[in-house]
Chain A
Amino acid sequence: MTKIKRILIANRGEIAVRIMKTAHLMKIETVAVKTAVEPNAMYLASADVIFDNTDDISEIPVFLDIEKLIAIALKTKANAIHPGYGFLAENAYFAQKCIENKLIFIGPSPDAIYKMGNKTIARRIALAIGIPMAMGSEGNIANEEEAAVIAEKIGYPVIIKAASGGGGRGMRIVRKADEMEKMFIIASKEAEKAFNDPSVFVEKYIENPKHIEFQILGDTKGNVIHLGERECSIQRKHQKLLEEAPSGALDDELRQKMGNMAVQIAKAVDYHSAGTVEFLLDSEKNFYFMEMNTRIQVEHPVTEIITGLDLIEQQIRIANGEELKFRQNDIKLEGWAIECRINAEDVQAGFAPDPGKIENLHMPTDSCVRVDTGVQVGSSIVANYDSMIAKLIVTGKDRKDAIKNCKMALDKVWIKGTKTTLPFFRMLVRHQKFQDGSFTTAFIEKDLERYYFNSEYEEMLAAWLATKLFIEENLNDDSINVNFEHGKEMSPWLLNKRINQF
């Protein structure tokens, strides 16, 4: 079997940087694609070869264009493709096309991607091997009448989910029978638009659960192990904001039980590469299989920290046909890790994206902090892609210590040019429910009155600044009794002409 020598990164941003970092350590070359949207992106600097695709005027991003990516790989003599996350990472056809063109796809088999990508098939597989699941329909549901019959049987509330779905789209909670018709139509339409597949199914809606997922690793020799869990209950509209590993909600016994289930699901589809099995955990510690993600995930660093493993390295080794060098018993979870997704979003405006140019960026350099980012000063957060600026990954010896370090690290992050989710995290690490671990996926919607934190004096200092500016602009007349010694010291905004008019 030929070994991986040069990898085309079919992605951008921080994950492209992340993959290239490991590839360099393994002395493997990388190819990055330069696009017209981000011709000066940071990830390009890490690549050995840059393919210039800036003359591509197609409306579809190149990272979604299967034919083009294959052609680029062949042209640049890459013999492997890493899809990262998002884009084509969970597209079975893309994985198949890679194989057909003798390119190593760094990820699972097309068959595993297909089976786990289709939620109805995944449910059937999980059911067959006795994985606990929320009760629901056998397969897809044809219409709202059928959905209503099942809902009556399992009891409201129920959730309608897109068979090909993910990321919260095509999902609707139905609390009463008379909402069914409307919600069914909305979910089905949304599913068709987002995934080109209107099929949906129904299952019992678990109220206020925790989101617990297991990282698994499988090789091509049939070995599958898990690397413990991550808790991702801090989410807004199914978009994760903060993840941690391990979870305070699990003890060793439950960890072993859920971990075994995750391994079994992976084995049922002959899974190789890194993957994630997602569960919901209710307040009685019952767990339910939700779905399996057949890719490297955004939140993989927290698992890397508590296991000491490099998951990208493991993906590459597995894709090379190597056997895992460790077994389940060798995996020891040590310490605690928390990841904050620092996004260009306005928490004061309901987390609305706030694209813009990064004018200033400083990240803490403490040893307990790891930063994964794809932007630097001068980079733009563009509306074409997601709003991620950086992942702030903080370590501690236990959860309390990790939260303490996180609080410290958040105060050291310095970003100018766009609004960010920082004030949200500053609030979160101080919140009683986060500290005591009793939060659920409903936390942001139900438990928060305010989405951000400011210390007692910050508003007053801002008021002082507004007053100072007013004086500089309006009262700078020598005839009046105002002390200008300090007032004239500086008005950087006036000098820079950076003040926009209302």
Chain B
Amino acid sequence: MANDNLQIKKLYALSSENRKFSFSLPLKQTIRIGKRDYEVKLKADEKYGTYILWKNRKYPVEIVRSSQNKYEILFNDISYTFTVETPFSLKRMKVLSSKRGKIEREYIKAPMPGKIIDVLVREGSTVVKGEPVVILEAMKMQNELLSPVNGTVVKVTAKSNTNVMKDDLLVEIKL
């Protein structure tokens, strides 16, 4: 990486919905909107915790998770996931994805501890994005867990009337 760093002039934050935000280095403490630069500050204090100050307004921020170049950020109560890429890694990624295709498997996990009320798919079922696959009861509510992708169910580990822990694998979908 050290060699790469010398030449890095830009970084890209790619959102999970494939929007690309580019930032030139060194990273400025301002963001340009139209013809004006607005100052952006990351701050933290006892009273509010961590926040971003932008146009005289505080926005609560939290890093939910991070690993390598992937960041899940909670900004003003909404989650965003970005991968931060250098011009080189971006190019490499494009080459790889054109060769290999994108993600091949989607794993549906229990977002919270609870009880499986119903499993709505079987191995071999085709699912479309947004289709409920499992009903999980937690906190007095029945929650439909939706498929985030179009694909085919290849594995069902969820069973009706069983308790599950957070992050237990329930259904595996092949894209």
Write the A224-242 contact mask toward B (1 if CB under 8 angstroms, else 0): 0000000000000101000
CA distance A464 to B49 in the complex (A): 19
Contact B143 A352 (CB under 8 A): yes
Contact A482 B25 (CB under 8 A): yes
**In the complex, what residues of A have CB within 8 A of residue B44's CB?**
490, 492
Which of B78-86, B96-104, B150-158 sits within the interface?
B78-86
Which of A107-115, A136-144, A472-480 sits within the interface?
A472-480
Contact A467 B5 (CB under 8 A): no
CA distance A499 to B74 in the complex (A): 12
Contact B27 A468 (CB under 8 A): yes
Closest to A500 in B: B65
Contact B139 A386 (CB under 8 A): yes
**In the complex, what residues of A have CB within 8 A of residue B27's CB?**
464, 467-468, 471, 482-483, 486-487
CA distance A455 to B48 in the complex (A): 21
CA distance A351 to B140 in the complex (A): 13
Closest to A169 in B: B142
Contact B42 A501 (CB under 8 A): no
Contact B63 A499 (CB under 8 A): yes
Contact A492 B29 (CB under 8 A): no
Which residues of B in the span 91-128 have a Cβ within 8 Å of any Cβ on A?
Answer: 111-114
**In the complex, what residues of B have CB within 8 A of residue A461's CB?**
31, 40, 52, 54, 59, 75
Which of A148-156, A195-203, A266-274, A414-422 sits within the interface?
A414-422
**In the complex, what residues of A have CB within 8 A of residue B56's CB?**
none
A-side interface size class: 35 or more
A290 at the binding interface (Cβ < 8 Å): no
Most buried by B among A354, A422, A466, A490: A466
A298 at the binding interface (Cβ < 8 Å): no
Closest to B148 in A: A349
Closest to A482 in B: B26
Closest Cβ of chain B: how far from A478's Cβ, in Å? 11
**In the complex, what residues of A have CB within 8 A of residue B69's CB?**
470, 474
Closest Cβ of chain A: how far from B39's Cβ, in Å? 11
B173 at the binding interface (Cβ < 8 Å): no
CA distance A453 to B73 in the complex (A): 16
A327 at the binding interface (Cβ < 8 Å): no
Closest Cβ of chain B: how far from A130's Cβ, in Å? 36
CA distance A498 to B73 in the complex (A): 13
Closest to B144 in A: A350
Contact B60 A502 (CB under 8 A): no
B76 at the binding interface (Cβ < 8 Å): yes
**In the complex, what residues of A have CB within 8 A of residue B18's CB?**
none
Which of A33-41, A93-101, A277-285, A355-363 sits within the interface?
A355-363
A408 at the binding interface (Cβ < 8 Å): no
Most buried by B among A423, A461, A462, A501: A462
Option from A350, A414, A419, A420 in Cβ contact (under 8 Å) with B146: A350
CA distance A411 to B58 in the complex (A): 10
A346 at the binding interface (Cβ < 8 Å): yes
Option from A237, A351, A469 in Cβ contact (under 8 Å) with B63: A469
Closest Cβ of chain B: how far from A481's Cβ, in Å? 7
Q: Known contacts A414-B48, A493-B50; is A458 also within 8 Å of B26 by CB?
A: no
Closest to A360 in B: B49
A457 at the binding interface (Cβ < 8 Å): yes
**In the complex, what residues of B have CB within 8 A of residue A387's CB?**
139, 141
Closest Cβ of chain B: how far from A497's Cβ, in Å? 11
**In the complex, what residues of B have CB within 8 A of residue A346's CB?**
79, 111
Option from A350, A467, A483, A487 in Cβ contact (under 8 Å) with B84: A467
CA distance A359 to B51 in the complex (A): 13
CA distance A338 to B95 in the complex (A): 53
Contact A459 B48 (CB under 8 A): no
A353 at the binding interface (Cβ < 8 Å): yes
Write the A251-270 contact mask toward B (1 if CB under 8 angstroms, else 0): 00000000000000000000
CA distance A411 to B5 in the complex (A): 40
Write the A402-439 contact mask toward B (1 if CB under 8 angstroms, else 0): 00000000010011100110110000000000000000
CA distance A335 to B34 in the complex (A): 41
**In the complex, what residues of A have CB within 8 A of residue B50's CB?**
492-493
Contact B73 A466 (CB under 8 A): yes
Closest Cβ of chain B: how far from A2's Cβ, in Å? 36
Q: Known contacts A466-B84, A469-B66, A492-B44; is A239 also within 8 Å of B141 by CB?
A: yes
B77 at the binding interface (Cβ < 8 Å): yes
CA distance A354 to B20 in the complex (A): 29
Closest Cβ of chain B: how far from A360's Cβ, in Å? 5
Contact B21 A349 (CB under 8 A): no
Closest to B57 in A: A411
**In the complex, what residues of A have CB within 8 A of residue B84's CB?**
466-467, 469-470
CA distance A360 to B111 in the complex (A): 23
A/B interface sample: 25 pairs, CB < 8 A: A385-B139, A386-B139, A415-B60, A419-B74, A458-B78, A459-B15, A459-B80, A460-B21, A461-B31, A461-B40, A461-B75, A463-B13, A464-B27, A465-B52, A467-B11, A470-B84, A474-B69, A477-B5, A480-B6, A480-B8, A482-B27, A486-B29, A498-B63, A501-B65, A501-B67
User: Which 4 residue pairs are nearest across A and B when measured between Cβ atoms?
Assistant: A483-B26, A463-B21, A463-B13, A470-B84
